[in-house]
Amino acid sequence: MPIITAPDGSARRTLTDAEGVALAHYTHAERDGRVVADLFELEVPIERALPVILAELRGMRVAGSEALGRALLAAGAAPGRHAHVYSHDLRERPAITAGFELTPVDRPAAELLPAYLAAHPPEHVDTPVIANEDSHQYLTGVLAGSLGPVLDCSGLAIADGRVVGGILVAEATDAPPPVGGPWVMELFRAPGAPGAGRALLQRALTLCEGPKLGLTVTEGNGRAVRLYESLGFERVSTTYSVNL
């Protein structure tokens, strides 16, 4: 059996060759309707594991090192997200700089949608390639816990009675911190609300319970990187996901 489930019943899997030699370990997850081999860690050189990965994980998304991602791309995989994982030690919490009314997430997805879409113009590196209706369904799902239980440190920025920004923090349960635990699933703000993202993140850092708060930022999103690092987030790893 090339894929072995962890005996403790966790989401960890081991990929083996025909002789039962462990080639890699990963976390089995499901996101955006696709099965994901997440936190992929090789135990052998890429060249040895590559044929088995391509044969046994066909149709899955594989998220691991940049070297693995580029090797899979060369073998015909479709590119996914090249991103960096950041983590904030919650023993150090910043003050909140106001400027907006900051509230819990007490509104439906339809009221978050305009700011969410405005935050992703065509030129933005994280612009979703989905229709507006799908964006609404996605936000509805996140609020309902599709990515994990939404935590109380999530919040909205309000101006003139409208949502101009939001941060959705969920509990990622498939790994320990910094890649598990409290995790920023979404942070967005409308172009006309500068400072809302910083205030929401400061509020989340103040209210979040746990040893660390983690997030992912796409390669090339320099503005977001500058914000996170200015608030004390530190880069802990880089991932490259591809679709087989």
Whole-number Å distance between alpha carbons of 101 and 196: 9
What radius of gyration do the chain's Cα atoms show? 19
pLDDT in tens, 60-114: 999 999 899 999 999 999 998 888 899 999 988 888 877 899 999 999 999 999 9
Whole-number Å distance between alpha carbons of 218 and 197: 16
Given a contact cutoff of 8 angstroms between Cβ atoms, the answer to whether 61 and 80 are in contact is yes
pLDDT in tens, 38-51: 889 999 999 999 99
Percent of the chain with pLDDT over 70: 92
Which residue has better confidence, 226 or 180? 226
Whether 132 has a pLDDT exceeding 60, the answer reads no
pLDDT in tens, 147-160: 889 999 999 999 99
Q: Which two tokens stand for residue 160?
A: 């003139």
239 pLDDT tier (thresholds 50, 70, 90): confident
Please list the helix, strand and coil fractions of the chain in percent, rounded to the nearest 5, in that order.
Answer: 25, 35, 35
Average pLDDT of the chain, as a whole number: 89
- Give the mean pLDDT of 218-224: 89
What secondary structure does DSSP assign to 77-88, as a single string? PEEEEEEEEEEE
What secondary structure does DSSP assign to 157-187, as a single string? EEETTEEEEEEEEEEE-SS-TTTSEEEEEEE
* Phi-psi label, residue 173: left if phi above 0, alpha if psi -120 to 50, beta otherwise: alpha
End-to-end CA distance of the chain: 20
CATH architecture, domain 87-237: 3-Layer(aba) Sandwich (3.40)
Query: What residue ranges do the domains of the chain occupy?
Result: 3-76, 87-237
Query: Residue 151: what pLDDT?
Result: 96
